[in-house]
Every structure is written in structure tokens, then in C-alpha cells.
Amino acid sequence: MQSTEPAETMKSSMIAVVGAGTMGSSIVVALLAAGYSVLLKETDQAFLDKGMANIDRLLSGRVKKGLSPEEAQLQRSRIECVLDFERFAEVDFVIEAAPENIEIKKSIFEQLDQWCNVDAILATNTSSLSITQIANFARRADKVVGLHFFNPAHIMKLVEVIPGLETSHDTVARALELAQSMGKLAIRVEECASFLVNRLLGRYMNESLFTLEGGVVGVEEIDKAVCDYVMPIGPLALRDMNGADIGLAVANFNYQEYGERFAVPALLSRMVEANMLGQKTMSGFYAYDKETRKRSGVNPELLKLLASPKKKAKTASAEFSAERLFLPMINESFLAMQERICQPEDLDAALMAGLGMRRGPLTLASEIGLKDCLAMLEASFKTNSGAVVHERFRPAPLLKRFVWAGRSSVL
């Protein structure tokens, strides 16, 4: 249930948000709905105006869904816009949502450290930068924490709460408490590249491209199979929505951090080179009508980029299944559990709230059968001769242990 009262133990009900961009503005709307006042900081008036226009649009959306116009107006009146940090001495909790650039975060956290009360918690909404590194830009690393909202933050239920190496228990508790008071599912996730949900998502997004590159199944078949199975949107439609350029940057980052099992599909780079970025260039896995911006079918340009032409449907049904596409995500879940990235009982809930999955990867693993998951991974890991190893399928040691123990499910 969404709470309308600020967390009781918060000393003040005003929360500061740094940055009024995509995330900052939707975080503001989520805070207002939970009863908080907001101190909103930007770099200049034009960005503040843009952010406020976005907040107005999101509030109007809420009015269309039943919020009274008076309440929307009241909520809006609880925002104070500022262009400097002077008033930050009055807040106990700051959420930073500035661009994903370490130099910008450094400058902001150094200033927050100067202006905020010594007890104030400084949270960052970073998706990929290190919480520990950001924390050490402030002289109070114990009071810095990751508070990773999902886009759009006023709608998406999940918040990952990520302590850095020096973050105190009290800071984590206060961050969890704030997110819960906003009606969110707040899950503690230990620090790792891309955190929990995007790490697991990355494995599945890559696999969808390798499957397409394999030539046995087409764009629409992949998206449809996955939606029928467990997802609200197919991986290729999602890639078009978020942009291949963003996808490539994330994939390269994961590859750099985790190595070969996060190998980057060549197709993704080829699409970026060809400016086939998805909806933003009206050309991706799908083509888009220039006037209506609606999807008009599979992009004929894509076929030119695919190394191998699509093989006969007979082979497709033999080799492709939606379950197979989720194997790397399932395997990564066992690796994450092995690293104690989250409590096993939180894992499915996080993926369901973060990605809209109808069942999480651990439930899928139990449905497929842990033994069968392992057998499928082993079969894909090595070629028949045993010579070529495909790292993306190297079975997680913890999955093997579950199978050796004769367990049929994780929980």
C-alpha cells in the first residue's frame, strides 16, 4: 500500500533532489505523492523550467487517473526550486539524479558534503557508477548510499538500495525506510556492476541478439515467444525503445566488468554504426512510420546486417524456445546468489517489480527443473567435440550444488 505520510523517523519531511531531468522529475512526483516536500536543485533556470514542465505533465497524468486537481496543485506547491546549495543545510536526505558522469557526481558530492548537515544522508541514483567511489567524494562515506529508482520512478515499484564499502547500517536502514514510505519495494542489493536487476537483464538482452544472429528465428518470433512466456515486452522491441546506442554502452560496460560471459553481440555494434538506434532514428529491429511514429513491421534494413540469412522454420522450432533465452539470466541469478548480492527470497520479487516479469528467474528455473537447466547449460557450454567453450553458458557452481543436493527449487 502506498503510504501518504513521510516516514515517521525522518527528522524533516523535506527531501532534496539534485537534477530535474528524466529521473529527477519522476522521483519528485513520487516523493510528493508520499507526502514529502521537495527542494529541487538544477544548474540553471532553463533546466528547472524544463523539469517543472515535466513534473506538471506527470501530475496531469495523475489527475486523469483520479487524483483531484486541488490535491495535484497542493502537491506542486510543496516544491521549492533552487539553483544553489544554500538551503541544503535544512534537509536530512538528498537524492542525486544528475547525469551519469563521474566528474559531475564528484563535484556534486563535494558540494553536498560542504553544505549539508553532518547527519544528512546523501543518496545517488546512479545506474552504473560505483557507490563506493561516489561515497568517497564526500568526507562522510558512511552516510552515502545508492538509491536506484527505475524509470519512470513515480510508477515503477522497485528501488534497489545499495551500500558502498563504507556505508553504515543506519544509512541503509534510513534509505530502505524512505523508499518504503514512498510505497516502493525496497530491496538491499550489494554493490556489483549494474546492480542486480540490470545485471540479470543484460544477460537476457544479449542472448536475444545472439539468438537472432544465429539465424534460426526472426525478430517477431523472439518478441512474441518471450511475451507469451513471461515478459510484458519483447527484448527487441525494448531495445528499440531504449536505443541501441544506450544498449551498446551498457553491454560494453558489463563486458568490461564481468568478462566473456557478457560478450557483446556484434549485431548491436553494427546497428549503432548504421544509425539503426531504434525509435529515436525510426529504424531498429522494427521500422517505424515517419508520420505516425508507429511500428510498421520488421525493418528490412536489418536483414542486411544479419550475418546469416534466416534458416528454415523447421530448424527454428527445433532449436528455439523462450526458456532457452532465459538460461543465461537464470545462470546469472545463481552467480549473484553465490556472491550474496541479495537475499534469495528477494531476487524474483526484484525482477518482477523492476522488469514487469510475471514470474522471476528462480521460479522459471524451478519450472524448467534445476537438473534440466544445468543439462541445457552444459550442452550449450561446449560443442560436441568439447573443444569450443561458450562462456555465456558456463554453469554457475551454485546451480550445480543445488542439483547435486537433489533440490528441485531454490526457495
Binding interface with ligand NAD (CB under 6 A):
18-24, 41-43, 47, 97-100, 104, 108, 125-127, 149, 151
| Maximum CA extent, the chain | 71
For the CB of residue 111, give the shortest distance to ligand NAD in the complex, in Å: 8
The values of phi and psi at residue 245, to 5°, are -65, -45
- Determine contact, residues 164/191, Cβ cutoff 8 Å: yes
Q: With residue 297 as reference, give the H or E element that holds it.
A: strand 295-298
Nearer to ligand NAD, 138 or 217 (CB): 138
Q: With residue 244 as reference, give the H or E element that holds it.
A: helix 244-258
For the CB of residue 389, give the shortest distance to ligand NAD in the complex, in Å: 34
Nearer to ligand NAD, 127 or 211 (CB): 127
Among residues 262, 232, 231, the alpha carbon closest in space to that of 247 is found at 262
For the CB of residue 127, give the shortest distance to ligand NAD in the complex, in Å: 4
Helix (H, G, I), strand (E, B) or coil at 220: helix
For the CB of residue 42, give the shortest distance to ligand NAD in the complex, in Å: 5
In angstroms, the Cα distances linking 203 to 42, 181, 268, 338 are: 35, 32, 14, 17
For the CB of residue 248, give the shortest distance to ligand NAD in the complex, in Å: 16
Measured distance CA(224)–CA(214) in Å, rounded: 17
Nearer to ligand NAD, 124 or 211 (CB): 124
Nearer to ligand NAD, 42 or 348 (CB): 42
Nearer to ligand NAD, 241 or 318 (CB): 241
For the CB of residue 241, give the shortest distance to ligand NAD in the complex, in Å: 11
Nearer to ligand NAD, 49 or 228 (CB): 49
Residues 6 or more apart whose Cβ sits within 8 Å of residue 30: 149, 153, 154, 182, 184
Measured distance CA(308)–CA(300) in Å, rounded: 14
